[in-house]
Amino acid sequence: MKRPTLEAVAARAGVSRATVSRVVNGQSTVTPEIRDTVLRAVSELGYVPNSAARSLVTQRTDSIALVISEPATRVFSDDRLFSMVVRTVSSELESSDKQIVLMLASSPRGHERVERYISSGHVDGVLLLSMHGADPLPAALNRMGVPVVSYGRPAVAVALPYVDNDNVGGAGAAVRHLLATGRRRIATIAGPQDMIGGQDRLTGYRDALRDSDRRSIVAVGDFTRASGADAMRQLLEDDPALDAVFAANDEMAIGALRALRRAGRRVPDDVALVGFDDIEAAAYTDPPLTTVRQPIVEQATAMVRLLLTPAKDRVTDHIILPSELVIRESA
Amino acid sequence: MKRPTLEAVAARAGVSRATVSRVVNGQSTVTPEIRDTVLRAVSELGYVPNSAARSLVTQRTDSIALVISEPATRVFSDDRLFSMVVRTVSSELESSDKQIVLMLASSPRGHERVERYISSGHVDGVLLLSMHGADPLPAALNRMGVPVVSYGRPAVAVALPYVDNDNVGGAGAAVRHLLATGRRRIATIAGPQDMIGGQDRLTGYRDALRDSDRRSIVAVGDFTRASGADAMRQLLEDDPALDAVFAANDEMAIGALRALRRAGRRVPDDVALVGFDDIEAAAYTDPPLTTVRQPIVEQATAMVRLLLTPAKDRVTDHIILPSELVIRESA
DNA sequence: CCCGGAGCCGAGAGCGCTCTCTTTTGATCA
DNA sequence: TGATCAAAAGAGAGCGCTCTCGGCTCCGGG
């Protein structure tokens, strides 16, 4: 009752193991007649190649790891981002018949697990989702000689191929939109400065303001809703006359929205508000949030392409995709 | 520059391959002194066991597949369901040091891929998310001798261990809530009757009404928003005096909400509305939707437990978990 | 003093496959 | 008809590991 092997198929078809292997792997140096005989034996016995044996000799596994390296609390702060990435990566890999191994590395123990797993040759490549600049995992994976592509620019120290959205440009577009609609005192709630996204979005804000000779007004949050509310209160205290806010992500924007309402400011009449990411909830706020959308599908597609292109054939080791301003009612 | 093998470690430590294997696999029949020597050699060489070679002989892979068998359009209709399941399963498997292989089987080609993959011995078990009763995949997987646990009761023909939420009880609770708040003409927008969830929720509705001698008013949708709106219009036409609706899922409830508003009915004043699932968007409707929550985390946990328990040690082959009524403002 | 048994370690087979190398086949041409 | 060569099939090594089995050592008991 155990699974048939190559040997069994060979015996049944009256040929050698090697010939069956050739047929199964689609080599053309087999007489059509024998080929048919073998294929018949294969389907009669219900033969399926043993993947462990195969990858033991080929050194390939036909699967890639999708590593999500974030504290458990944050990973899924945006379920849609996650599910869109997974869906896109999955369908993109389908054509090359590779599988996804999903690894959530939330704790240091998780990191160690991931490293062990990858270095035991389980996968042919790694897609790394890690928003945190200080994460040691990218460097570690890079060291073990497995192809790795990162979602989001990794910390400067690591030379890793990556795909990112245009954080600087997106933030700039948000600020320019505020300027274009006549806002004069534009503050920002920046993200944590140990994350690349946090840094770049602040840079985009600063650059855009500098171009227009406006003064920058900055508070720093940590990408959580509560920190957005706190930062907003801080900003209102510092500069009660501000008339616009660019929050570095939607969660903080939602926090800011509540803080503004509690402070008696109307949005967008008194204060215009723009977020970043276009998470699900952004469409349901009151008023619906104007925000910057990441091109998630395109990013995921690009990651897979980059991963599947052998390093030596690569034209570039990073791809930056444009972000799009989604104008709703908050600005 | 290639990875060191057991042989290399053995040579370095001056022992046999078998002894190194014993140490690496934590067997106790090794003299502490030798054990230390071996461990030193392991870490000096950076040895990591080759997983393909190992599973070739052990017949285990230490990974399980999470198969999502749905048309691509629906799979992620609820991103939160998906991400919570993934997260829970992942952390639940962490303790037994198993990995998740994620497979989205949206097309017939995808199904074939999944079957081939599973039957090639890539995984030790399968968690199956398939909402569609007529899905041929459960039966196919069941046939190949791999442990499978299904999320949601599979079609009657298949004897598969499964975990489900109490669809009948949840629907009943929703209807009883409507009765308790004084509603008298309670209609339902049922789900497709070729899905188990659709059937059971309708059963729950009917049972609860029968107990109270109320007449049942039924329209059937297909779990999409648009079908919910259509069904609602139909119901209003059939019985303009209805004062409550139980929709078999939140998507249809949201569609119904719009149809009600367009028809000039106030919710909940004129018509009370209850959904099912408690999807993300349910909290953001106007008014926020009263609905029935599935215990997603508990279900995912139970699935893993069931899968990891050897069939012969199992007390039961299915687990039904209670659903909880979440009362918001629509009813 | 010898035997039996327990505890450790090594030898070696074998998991199921791929791939190189060799042999066989069969067609071609002088 | 026999030599030549290309194409096709077979033989066999080996991928890196686990695990059974047998041998060796060291102890206590008869």
- The pLDDT tens digits for A19-71 are 999 999 988 788 888 899 999 999 999 999 999 999 999 999 999 999 988 76
| Residue B115 token pair | 């079957």
What's the pLDDT tens digit per position in A83-111? 889 889 998 998 888 999 999 888 888 88
A102 and B103 in contact by Cβ < 8 A? no
What's the pLDDT tens digit per position in B218-247? 999 998 899 999 999 999 999 999 999 999
CB A182 within 8 A of CB A241: no
Q: Report CA(B37)–C1'(C27) in Å, whole number.
A: 64
Residues in A touching B124 (Cβ below 8 Å): none
B53–A contact, CB cutoff 8 A: yes
Give the whole-angstrom CA distance, residue A315 versus residue A309.
10
CB A174 within 8 A of CB A106: no
Tokens 């953001």 sit at which residue? B284
Q: Output the CA torsion sign for B261, B263, B267, B272.
A: negative
Instruction: Report the nucleotide nearest the CA of residue A25, measured to C1'.
Output: C18
Q: Output the CA torsion sign for B267, B268, B271, B275.
A: positive
A83 and B72 in contact by Cβ < 8 A? no
B234–A contact, CB cutoff 8 A: no
A58–B contact, CB cutoff 8 A: no
Residue to test with chain A: of B5, B51, B94, most A Cβ within 10 A: B51
A327–B contact, CB cutoff 8 A: no
A101–B contact, CB cutoff 8 A: yes
Give the whole-angstrom CA distance, residue B120 versus residue B105.
17
Q: Report CA(B82)–C1'(C2) in Å, whole number.
A: 72
Using alpha carbons only, what angle is made at residue B34 by residues B30 and B35, rounded to the nearest 5 degrees?
A: 65
What's the pLDDT tens digit per position in B183-197? 999 999 999 998 888
Residue type (1 letter), A259: A
- Output the pLDDT for position B73: 55
Of residues B3, B101, B284, nearest to A63 (C-beta)? B101
Does pLDDT of A1 surpass 70?
no
A146–B contact, CB cutoff 8 A: no
Over residues A270-291, mean pLDDT: 93
| Residue B171 token pair | 């629907």
| Cβ partners under 8 Å of residue B306, min gap 6 | B149, B161, B163, B314, B317, B319
Does pLDDT of B72 surpass 50?
yes
- Output the pLDDT for position A133: 67
B101 and A104 in contact by Cβ < 8 A? no
Give the whole-angstrom CA distance, residue B104 versus residue A206.
43
* Angle, helices B6-13/B32-45, rounded to nearest 10 degrees: 120
- Chain C nucleotides covered by protein, CB below 7 Å: 7-12, 14-20
pLDDT band at A77 (very low <50, low <70, confident <90, very high): low
Side-chain-side CA neighbours of B294 within 13 Å: the count stands at 29
Give the A:B interface size as CB pairs under 8 Å: 116
Lowest mean pLDDT among A141-155, A231-245, B65-79: B65-79
Among the residues of chain B, which ranges form H helices?
Answer: 6-13, 17-24, 32-45, 51-58, 72-75, 79-94, 108-119, 137-143, 167-180, 196-211, 225-238, 250-262, 296-308
Q: Are strands B99-104 and A99-104 parallel, antiparallel or unpaired?
A: antiparallel
CB A89 within 8 A of CB A45: no
Tokens 């046939």 sit at which residue? B143
Does pLDDT of B75 surpass 50?
no
| Residue A203 token pair | 């840079």
- Chain D nucleotides covered by protein, CB below 7 Å: 7-12, 14-20
| Cβ partners under 8 Å of residue A287, min gap 6 | A267, A268, A328, A329, A330
Give the whole-angstrom CA distance, residue B149 versus residue B126.
6
B327–A contact, CB cutoff 8 A: no
- Output the pLDDT for position B1: 60
Residues in A touching B100 (Cβ below 8 Å): 101-103
Does pLDDT of A275 surpass 60?
yes
A94 and B82 in contact by Cβ < 8 A? no
Residue to test with chain B: of A25, A51, A63, A80, most B Cβ within 10 A: A51
- Output the pLDDT for position A75: 47
Using alpha carbons only, what angle is made at residue A259 by residues B278 and B326, rounded to the nearest 5 degrees?
A: 15
DSSP class of residue B239 equals -
B212–A contact, CB cutoff 8 A: no
Give the whole-angstrom CA distance, residue B208 versus residue A300.
47
Does pLDDT of A200 surpass 80?
yes
Does pLDDT of B217 surpass 90?
yes
What's the pLDDT tens digit per position in B311-327? 888 888 899 999 999 99
CB B116 within 8 A of CB B123: no
Could you tell me which chain A residue has the CA closest to the CA of B80?
A79
B122 and A76 in contact by Cβ < 8 A? no
Could you give the strand order of the β-sheet that contains A217-220, starting from the edge strand earlier in sequence? A217-220, A186-190, A244-247, A272-274
A99 and B91 in contact by Cβ < 8 A? no
Does pLDDT of A73 surpass 80?
no
Q: What mean pLDDT value characterizes chain A?
A: 90
What's the pLDDT tens digit per position in B261-294? 999 999 999 999 999 999 888 988 989 999 999 9
Distances (CA, A) of B319 to A5, B161, B278, B302: 37, 8, 21, 7
- Output the pLDDT for position B186: 96
Chain centroid to CA B197: how far?
Answer: 12
What's the pLDDT tens digit per position in A159-176? 889 999 999 999 999 999
